[in-house]
Structure 1
Amino acid sequence: MSEESSTSRLERLRFLVRVREQDLTRARSWCDAEERRLAEVAARQPPSPPPDWVVEQGIGQGRWIVAVHQGYCRPAGPRVKPVGADEARRLLAMDTGLACQLCRPDTELGVL
């Protein structure tokens, strides 16, 4: 009798494993569907407008500022952060070599 009960117990445990695997597969498919839905919603949103002014930071410790740009000229990457016009003017007044040579924020801000 103990052999029969252990076999039926093993069968019940294997059944439980199959059911849990099916539940996990179903939950993963729901997650995939939700990720697709969120991606579609994000794709329909218009991109946020660029900031008016950005600073490009260097690499390494301290992250010094290497350039000031107009918002449309902003280089891509994690080393770029938006700043206000007053902060951009202050930075450009401290060091005129910080002005981007392409977008010329110093001219636009009146700092020469």
Structure 2
Amino acid sequence: MNDELSRLDLLHFARRVVVQQATAALSQLDRWIADEERREAERRLGEERRPAPLAWLIQYGLNRSNIDAVHTGDCWAAAKSGRCRPATREQAVDALRQNVPPCTHCRPDTELGVLD
């Protein structure tokens, strides 16, 4: 019996190895795709469930009794202060009419149409 493999046997073996490696690589790619699809679905769901941004904010003083400023809901300065509470449009307009200063960064008085 001849223990040497023929060229055809070697080619068939090489094909089986390539198919096995390609199958493993495709399985890995399918897992990566499934993971990415899951992350994308979670991201979309998070965006859908995210509450609407606040339109107006009122910044209170350190003692929480006096009002320091009026901000738009997306003002970066309001986010840094940490002393803001949500407000309705009417509350923001009322505060501005009572001479509460508008934020110099987001200019809520301009957006609200309350100019001196």
Give the number of the structure whose alpha-carbon radius of gyration is greater: 2
Query: Is the counterpart of residue 105 in structure 1 residue 105 in structure 2?
Result: no
Partners of 2:46 and 2:83 lie apart in 1 by 25
TM-score, normalisation: structure 2:
0.51
- One-letter amino acid matched to 1:45: G
TM-superposition CA deviations, 1:21-58 (whole Å, max 9, x none): xxxxxxxxxxxxxxxxxxxx8xx633323210001111
Where do 5+ consecutive residues of structure 2 fail to align? 1-41
Q: Which residue of 2 aligns with 1:27?
A: none
Partners of 2:86 and 2:56 lie apart in 1 by 6
Query: Is the counterpart of residue 90 in structure 1 residue 97 in structure 2?
Result: no
Q: How many residue pairs were aligned?
A: 68
Q: Which residue of 1 aligns with 2:62?
A: 59
Q: What is the correspondence of 1:8-87 to structure 2 with a 5 Å cutoff?
A: 45-46=46-47, 47-60=50-63, 62-73=64-75, 74-76=78-80, 78-87=82-91
Partners of 1:67 and 1:55 lie apart in 2 by 6
Which of structure 1's runs of 4+ aligned residues deviate more than 4 A? none
Percent identity of equivalent pairs: 35
TM-score, normalisation: structure 1:
0.53
Cα RMSD, aligned residues only? 2.0
- One-letter amino acid matched to 1:71: G
Partners of 1:76 and 1:101 lie apart in 2 by 14
Where do 5+ consecutive residues of structure 1 fail to align? 1-40
Partners of 1:52 and 1:86 lie apart in 2 by 11
Q: Which residue of 1 aligns with 2:15?
A: none
